[in-house]
Amino acid sequence: MSDDGIDVTELLAAIDAGERLLLLDVRNERDFAAWRIGGRREPDALNVPYFRFLEEADAIVPRLPRGVPLVTVCAHGGSSALVSALLREHGIVARNLVGGMAAYGAHLSPVRVPTPVAERRFEIWQVQRVARGCLSYVVVSGGAAVVVDPSRHVERYEAFVAARNARIELVIDTHVHADHVSGGATLAARNRAAYFVGVADGWPIGGAVAALPAGGSFWLRRDDAPPLELRMIATPGHTPEGHAVLVAGRWLLSGDTLLVDGVGRPDLGAHALEWGRDLYRTITQRLAWLPDETVVLPAHTAAPPDVGAHDVIATSLGEVRGLPELTLPSADTFARAIAALVGPAPEAYAQIVVRNRDPEPIPPELADEWELGPNQCAARPGAAAAPETR
């Protein structure tokens, strides 16, 4: 890394560590308003579009804050490189975010999920996509790996699994995602692994999909390690074809069915009340047999800035069961309460769903465009009790 460049990993570490810096975002005002760099702490940011520097640098530069290191940011890192070079010519300390917002949007940060010493025969990694609040998982046991809900940056998962001396044998999408372009089918094909995603009536999936094994569980068997059970539990609600993955009887990869301080919105298929009632029955009946201590590992954070660089995003089933809406007496009252809570739908969700049901390759630029902006897959029952202050 040259003196004038900073990569996403280093920038997020600096933000999380509370280092003094000022983001000088040189995108246009609309793009800046729609989506900006978060992190555990909200960094100080200033928006001055690059085209204003082109025309009136002499007027702008003297007005910039001095004495704080600047990091310039734009969509792909080109305009911000121009601006940071210009600032350095004026004697201002400035570094350019290499790859810009596109690199930030693609950044994946793996965090190990704690498992008791007795369970060290396998590892669960939560792979956090900080910019979007998307959480995917890599489960490794005795040289075999399962990847759950991967983003489209498939090489990152391949490198991570290879570094753990394992081979990807199975890829699972807990459901047909509406907020991000899935890497599931692609990752499976590239690694000759099986690919599983649920299939519901009227929701066909293009391409090859593995059937659920007899007994409802996948088993990871490799080398001398004892077989590891991945029990698939149908979880209609957020979407009708959804499945949660129960790892070793205790860690529940819950997709968007259960989130930290919330549940997944059931309204992205034009059946908000029907799916909402399904969601209530899934949580209160289909998952009723699981103990309160079950560790819930969701596919999303409710709000992206909650994602820290080091902490696992998790809750317990007992916590989820305490959400106010889940104490409502019937599926119908629950569905109506949730329908009243959901915010605007993710911007390009309809296109993303179509692509994820028929996983044809699409240009990365188009995927970048679809995935712009913050994640909006959560209905937030917790929000009524504890309103967000942001």
* Residue 218 C-beta-side C-alpha neighbours within 13 Å: 29
Q: Does 55 bind other proteins (CB under 8 A)?
A: yes
Min CB(359)–other proteins separation in Å: 22
Phi, psi (rounded to 5 degrees) for 218:
-85, 150
What are the tokens at 191? 């690694």
Min CB(367)–other proteins separation in Å: 13
Choice between 102 and 147, CB closer to other proteins: 102
Distance CA(16)–CA(43), nearest Å, equals 9
Min CB(33)–other proteins separation in Å: 11
Min CB(52)–other proteins separation in Å: 6
Q: Does 373 bind other proteins (CB under 8 A)?
A: no
Choice between 19 and 365, CB closer to other proteins: 365
Catalytic-residue membership of 377? no
Binds other proteins (CB under 8 A): choice among 14, 57, 76, 305? 76
Which region, judged by CB under 8 A, interacts with other proteins, from 69-77, 221-229, 236-244, 338-346?
Answer: 69-77
Helix (H) or strand (E) holding 357: helix 349-357
Phi-psi region of 255 (alpha: psi -120 to 50; beta: other; left: phi over 0): left
Q: What is the 3-state secondary structure (H, E, C) of 99-125?
A: CHHHHHHHCEEEEEECCCHHHCCEEEE
Choice between 50 and 275, CB closer to other proteins: 50
Site for other proteins in 25-54 (CB under 8 A): 27-31, 49-52, 54
Which region, judged by CB under 8 A, interacts with other proteins, from 73-81, 128-136, 199-207, 270-278?
Answer: 73-81
Choice between 50 and 104, CB closer to other proteins: 50
Q: Which of 6, 26, 37, 74 is catalytic?
A: 74
Q: Does 369 bind other proteins (CB under 8 A)?
A: yes
Total residues at interface with other proteins (CB under 8 A): 20
Distance CA(366)–CA(359), nearest Å, equals 14
Q: List strands edge to edge, sheet with 262-264.
A: 258-259, 262-264, 378-379
Distance CA(227)–CA(224), nearest Å, equals 9
Residue 192 class from Cβ within 10 Å (0-12 exposed, 13-18 middle, 19+ buried)?
A: exposed
Choice between 50 and 251, CB closer to other proteins: 50
Q: Does 340 bind other proteins (CB under 8 A)?
A: no
Q: Does 74 bind other proteins (CB under 8 A)?
A: yes
Q: Does 73 bind other proteins (CB under 8 A)?
A: no
Min CB(45)–other proteins separation in Å: 17
Q: Does 79 bind other proteins (CB under 8 A)?
A: yes
CA angle 156, 157, 161 (to 5 degrees): 120
Min CB(55)–other proteins separation in Å: 6
Distance CA(87)–CA(93), nearest Å, equals 7
What are the C-alpha distances in Å from 19 to residues 5, 77, 175, 287, 373? 17, 22, 39, 43, 25
Distance CA(228)–CA(234), nearest Å, equals 19
Choice between 33 and 384, CB closer to other proteins: 33
Q: Does 82 bind other proteins (CB under 8 A)?
A: yes
Binds other proteins (CB under 8 A): choice among 75, 166, 220, 279? 75
Residue ranges that bind other proteins, judged by CB under 8 A: 27-31, 49-52, 54-56, 74-76, 78-79, 82, 365, 369
Among all residues, which ones are annotated catalytic? 74
